[in-house]
Amino acid sequence: MHSAKKAAAILVLLILFIDQVHHCSAFIRRRRRRRCPVVNCSVTSWSHWSSCSASTCGQQGSQSRSRSITTHPSCGGTTCPSNLQESRLCYGSTLENCNLSSWSEWSACPAIPCGSSAMQTSTRHRIITEKCGGWCTSTFRKTRMCLRPPVNCKLSSWSEWSTCNGTVCTAGRGTQFSFRNKTMKEACGGTCTSTFLKTRNCTKSITRKAVECQLSLWSEWGDCKRTSCQLTGIQTSTRHKTVKEECPGTCKYSLHQSKLCTQSQLPCFNGGMYKPNITGCVCIQGYSGLCCENSPQGLY
């Protein structure tokens, strides 16, 4: 019986012990749960945006920024954000300076009196416009004084060579001509050539044919001309060549013709005057004869 009591006592102790242990662990557990700190996720602030992938001014590209987790959440803290990387469109913004043409030729000096001065200008312009705040000059025009320079004459170009002509009527050497003109006069001491005609030898391959002369019409008959004291005299008529005979050509025609003519009155020579009611002329002093044909020395 004694051992039974002992056993019962041990059992009671055991139960008490187990209860105590249980009690204690619950207590510990309760204490531990109360001490677990809530930790929210924490991330760094965003980095700076990276430089734009496009560097040319105005060209589209992209850039990104990122952040990273510094503390992971625990004990029910807020979770971490899912976007740790961001990107966006951007435009290249590298400065571009303008690019300029070279200076133009100086403008012609204005038409001013020889020896006086005037302004002439030269300009340049943008070939490429500056971008993104790039630099450009503000000087697009410059001027300088000019003196009106000597101006030489201007000449036309030489004319075509004339057809080969010459003095020969047989095949052989001939001459050709070419002309040019002064189209603008020289000024302010400018110079000019004096050569406006040039010639060159040429060879005529064609023998020119003989050319007959050609004649004008006969002229009107002239006055009835008398050389002695007679009622009859001679009248003449002429014609001339309109085309000369050449190579060698002939001209077997007369250029003069004449015929007799009769007048009703005698001629008066040596200043004598015809008087109707007398036969013959009234002579000035010293002359005699019907027609005053006798000179003071007795000869006509």
Ligand X SMILES: *[C@@H]1O[C@H](CO)[C@@H](O)[C@H](O)[C@H]1NC(C)=O
Q: Does residue 38 interact with ligand X by CB under 6 A?
A: yes
Q: Which of 44, 51, 79, 156 binds ligand X (CB under 6 A)?
A: 156
Q: Does residue 40 interact with ligand X by CB under 6 A?
A: yes
Q: Which of 83, 138, 167, 205 binds ligand X (CB under 6 A)?
A: 167
Pairing of strands 126-128, 99-100: antiparallel
The SS3 assignment for 188 reads coil
Q: What DSSP assignment string belongs to 89-158?
A: EEE----B--EEPPPPPPPPPP---TT-EEEEEEE--EEE--BTT----S--EEEEEEEPPPB--EEPPP
Q: How big is the CA angle at 208 (ends 203 and 210), to the nearest 5 degrees?
A: 155
Q: Does residue 201 interact with ligand X by CB under 6 A?
A: yes
The residues in 113-142 that bind ligand X, with binding defined as CB under 6 A, are 128
CB of 59 to ligand X, least distance (A): 15
The SS3 assignment for 42 reads strand
Residue among 57 and 109 whose Cβ is closer to ligand X: 57
Q: Does residue 166 interact with ligand X by CB under 6 A?
A: yes
Q: Does residue 203 interact with ligand X by CB under 6 A?
A: no
Q: What DSSP assignment string belongs to 261-294?
A: EE-SS----TT-EE-TTSSSEEPPTT-BSTTS-B
Q: What DSSP assignment string belongs to 68-79?
A: -EEE--BTTPPP
CA 243, 249, 253, 255 dihedral sign is positive
Q: Which of 99, 207, 219, 227 binds ligand X (CB under 6 A)?
A: 99
CB of 162 to ligand X, least distance (A): 4
Query: What long-range pairs does 59-62 form, CB within 8 A, spacing at least 24?
Result: 59/91, 59/92, 60/89, 60/90, 60/91, 61/89, 61/90, 61/91, 61/92, 62/87, 62/88, 62/89, 62/90
CB of 183 to ligand X, least distance (A): 8
CB of 75 to ligand X, least distance (A): 10
How far apart CA 79 and CA 76 sit, in angstroms, is 8
Q: Does residue 179 interact with ligand X by CB under 6 A?
A: yes
Q: Does residue 277 interact with ligand X by CB under 6 A?
A: yes
Determine the residue type at 35: R
Q: Which of 53, 63, 97, 238 binds ligand X (CB under 6 A)?
A: 97
Residue among 25 and 78 whose Cβ is closer to ligand X: 78
CB of 204 to ligand X, least distance (A): 11
Q: Which of 68, 79, 129, 181 binds ligand X (CB under 6 A)?
A: 181
CB of 100 to ligand X, least distance (A): 8
CB of 174 to ligand X, least distance (A): 8
Q: Does residue 182 interact with ligand X by CB under 6 A?
A: no
Residue among 97 and 295 whose Cβ is closer to ligand X: 97
Name which of 64, 47, 63 is nearest 55 in CA terms. Answer: 63
Binding site for ligand X (CB under 6 A): 38, 40, 77-78, 97, 99, 128, 156, 159, 162, 165-167, 177, 179-181, 200-201, 277
